Each structure stands twice: as structure tokens, then as C-alpha cells.
A and B are shown apart, each in its own frame.
Chain A
Amino acid sequence: MGMLIALWIFIIGCMEMAKKKLPSFRKLAGLDALPEMVGRAAEMNRPVHFTTGLGELTGTVAPQLVAGLAVLGYVSELAAKYGVKIIYSVYQAQVMPIATELMREAYIRAGKADAFDAEGQIRYLSGEQFAYATAVQGIAERERPAANIMIGPFYAESMMFSETFFRIGSIQLAGTARGYQIPFFAVVCDYLLIGEEIYAAGAYLSKDAVQCGSIQGQDLGKLIAWILMFIGVLATAAGSPIIIDLLKA
């Protein structure tokens, strides 16, 4: 329980600190690839496809969805700048209004407010897993996006998507914190955000103090874990169970 309290304090503390000054982030290779991906779509004169997977804003996977939406904002701005059409496939009806605002603002930031076509670019594809999955595959086959970006909570459809977009020659960036699905993305996609990297990406792009601070708090937790394991291994090698006993308490 002591550990839980310690983590609690770290997380809240960092969230408070982040309100004053945002923490800085390490480079995330997948994000650096985005301009290149959108640029390639511009050269080929083909659209960019974006989707955020399943889940609800009210469930435990909500943070993944939020991270995906943050990346959507960033990619929309890039797409607006390069004059590329971006298609966003939506599974959750509740996300529609949020996404519309987000993308409109991105287009305004890029100075291309007129180019935004909410009806044509944001596609609501029913709240049913496999209906959504087939519809996304349909978009892939018909509109042949040059790039496909998938960030959010993905389930069994991950393999269908990555395989279909691979077949039509899209360059792909994918990320999810749902461990069971990462391998499929790793096998097929060109760029990969592994697990929690998507949270970091979302926080980094949205510059949201709560999210950034929370990530820094978790990082402190990881450092504790790291130090405990490191010392623990050394202690075990030296024949002392000090760390193991410490954790039993």
C-alpha cells in the first residue's frame, strides 16, 4: 500500500508541476515520420486515412482514444498544409462532434478553413466491430489512401486493417496500448508506436498539462521500478534478499 501511496503522490505532484511548466519529451520515431507520410500522399495525390479503433469515451480505453484524437488534430493540420484529403473513419458516434471541432480547428490553424468538408472527411461507420471493419476495408479498396494512420484501442480488426492497407500499398503508422494487438501492427506496419508511446504522443501533441504531468509521474514510477530491480539483482548476486524482503512488507 505504501507503494500505491507513493505513486499517488508522484502522479498528482507531477500533474500540479506540469500546470506551471510542461515536461519535455523524448523523440518518438513514429511521430517524426508523419510529415513524410503526408508528404508522400501529396506527391501521389491520394488521401490519408486515419482511424482510432473501437472503445468508448466512457470506458477504460478512453485514454487511448483521446491519444488517437490528439494525433488526429496534428495530422489534420499537416494534411491541410500539404493540401491532402484526410479521411477519418469513426466507430463511436460520441466522437463525431469532438472530431469535427478538432479537424476544423486544425484546418483553420493551417489557414485552409475552406478546404474542410466535415461530411465527406469524417465517416461514421456504425458502432459494430465487424461492420466498421468491413467499411474501413471498403474505403481502402476504393479510395486507395497513400498513408494509413491507426492510433487508439484496436481489437481483432487490427490484422484486417493492416493487411488490407498493406496490400493496396499504403505506408502505415500504427499504435495501440492493447498488448494483444501490437504484434500484428509490428509485423505489417512501417512505423510503430509501442504501447504507452501513444499516450506520450497524445500528451506531447496536445500539450495538455494533466496528461503530460501524469506521464511524468508514471515515469518516476518506472525509475523506481528500475532502481529496485537493479539494486535487487545486485543484492541477490551478493546473496542478500534485502530488496525482495523490502517489497514483501
Chain B
Amino acid sequence: MAVDLGSVIQIWIAALFTIWIYSIAFRDNVFFKFAEHTFVGAAAGHSIVYGVDNVLRYGWDPFTKGALFYAAVFLLGVILYTRYHKKYFWVSRFPLAVMVGIGIGLSMRATVTAEFIAQIQSTAAMKVLGVDAWTGFSNLLFIIIVLTVVYFFVFTFPAMHAGKRGIISKIARYGMMAAFGYSFANTVLSRFNMIFGRLDFLMTSWLPLPGAMVALPIVLILLAYAMIPAQKRPWPKPSKPS
């Protein structure tokens, strides 16, 4: 397989980072810390790059094409950063207020329709009669769980949960536990797929490269050494409280 040098280096770096990050599952160590700091720095750098790009695309472009009032939004954008100033941090509240206002407006207008009314409608439309027995039972159970869960989250009318009525919350909890069990299993699937993705990368992209098979045991031995508590290893001596 002919791969250019740039790709080879890229694969090596990515492979080392992959192994180093996985080491945290066993024990904290200096290689993990290095990879972690690279990750955080890269993420922040990445967001700057796209921040600049977006400001240029969505702000600068229309501005240079004549939408001069976009100058105002640049000003607002810049004063966002006054939040780091000891005295004038309150100035940043104006642009923040615009962002928060738009965000809230968008979320409220749609939440009430998509997550409140549409869900009530869809529940109300469920048929218990006039369908086969199994569907009827399933739908009935569905309705019971929705109703009990909504009931469960009523907090301020304690009488609704007193005495025998406690059974309603009990049913709700059973319903939710079933849902959580299902979610948990699906998360296992997601995470395992991700692990597969990384291992597949190591095995099909990295290991076939010349030298990788030799490097692998060395990397692992170094990692294992780094996991030994600093007090117990001969070198380097602990200069720092862990």
C-alpha cells in the first residue's frame, strides 16, 4: 500500500493518541495527560477557527456587499469579550441578551408545539378499543405509563401522592426504569461501536505500516511504567504531589 509520508505521520500520531487515551481506563498516567491536554487545546483552537470563519461568512460577506448595519453586530460581538474585564463586564450583557432572547424565543415557540401539544395529541389519538386485543393492551399500557409519569412529576400538590395514591408514582417508576434499562443497553452499543472504530483504525491503518508492530509493545511497556505510582518507581522521582 503506497501512502505518502504526510499520511504516515498522521496515522502514527493518531494511533499513539488513541492508545494513550485508552490508558486512562486502567490508570492515570503522564501519557494520558499529554493526550488530554492536546485534546482540550485542539478543541479550543478548532472552535476559534470556525468562529472566525463564521464571522467572515455570515457577517463580513453581507457587510462588504452593502449591509452596513452589520457593523453593529460586529460591535456587539466584540463587546461580548468585556465579560473578562473587572469593571466593564456588564457591557457584555447587551449582546448576551440578544443571544439569550433569540434562543429563548426559538425554544419556547417550538417546544410548546413539538414537545407539549404534539405529544398530548398523539397520546390522545391512541386506540384502546376497535383494535386487536394485544394492540389494545399495549396501547392501554402506553397510556397508563404516560399518564403516571406525568403524574409522578407533579410536586406541589402533596395530596396527589398521599396514601394509596402512592401506587401511581410506583407504576411511573417501573415504566421509567424499563426505559432506562433500554437506554443503557443502547448506550453500550454506541460506545462499543466507537471502540470498534478506533481499534479498526489501529489494526487496518496503523499496524500494517512499517515499524508499527515493533512500536506497539514499546508503547505499551512505557505506558505500564508510567502507571506505576511515582513514589514506587525508580525514575523519575516524584517532584510533585500527584
Chain A residues proximal to chain B, CB less than 8 Å: 3-4, 7, 23-28, 58, 60, 128, 130-131, 134, 137-138, 180, 182-184, 186-187, 194-197, 200, 204, 212, 215-216, 219, 221-223, 225-226, 228-233, 235-237, 241, 243-244, 247-248
Q: Which of B90-137 contact A (CB under 8 A)?
A: 96, 103, 108-109, 112, 116-117, 120-121, 123-129
Are A26 and B147 in touch, CB under 8 angstroms? Answer: no
Q: Is B161 an interface residue (CB 8 A)?
A: yes
Q: Is B39 an interface residue (CB 8 A)?
A: yes
- In the complex, A219→B103 CA distance in Å? 24
Are B150 and A225 in touch, CB under 8 angstroms? Answer: yes
Are A130 and B36 in touch, CB under 8 angstroms? Answer: yes
Q: Is B71 an interface residue (CB 8 A)?
A: no
Q: Is B180 an interface residue (CB 8 A)?
A: yes
Q: Mark B167-182, 1 if CB is under 8 A from A, else 0.
A: 0000001001101110
Chain B residues proximal to chain A, CB less than 8 Å: 24, 28, 32, 36, 39-40, 96, 103, 108-109, 112, 116-117, 120-121, 123-129, 143, 146-147, 150-158, 160-161, 173, 176-177, 179-181, 183-184, 187, 242
Partner of B143, one of A197, A229, A248: A229
- Output the least CB separation between A18 and chain B (Å): 9
- Known contacts A23-B156, A216-B156, A219-B157; decide if A236 and B180 are in contact (CB<8 Å): no
Are A183 and B24 in touch, CB under 8 angstroms? Answer: no
- Known contacts A26-B155, A26-B161, A130-B36; decide if A232 and B124 are in contact (CB<8 Å): yes
- Output the least CB separation between B220 and chain A (Å): 21
Partner of A134, one of B24, B112, B158: B24
Which residue on chain A has the smallest CB distance to residue B28?
Answer: A134
Q: Which residues of A contact B96 (CB under 8 A)?
A: 58
Which secondary structure characterizes the binding site on chain A? Answer: helix
Partner of B150, one of A180, A184, A226, A241: A226
Which secondary structure characterizes the binding site on chain B? Answer: helix
- Output the least CB separation between A43 and chain B (Å): 29
Are A237 and B129 in touch, CB under 8 angstroms? Answer: yes
- In the complex, A232→B160 CA distance in Å? 21
Which residue on chain A has the smallest CB distance to residue B151?
Answer: A226
Which residue on chain B has the smallest CB distance to residue A199?
Answer: B155
Are B180 and A182 in touch, CB under 8 angstroms? Answer: yes
- Known contacts A230-B147, A232-B125; decide if A219 and B108 are in contact (CB<8 Å): no
- Sample of 19 further A-B pairs with CB below 8 A, known A3-B112, A247-B120: A25-B158, A26-B156, A27-B161, A131-B36, A131-B40, A182-B180, A186-B176, A194-B176, A219-B154, A222-B150, A229-B124, A229-B147, A229-B150, A230-B147, A232-B121, A232-B123, A232-B125, A233-B124, A237-B128
- In the complex, A25→B18 CA distance in Å? 49
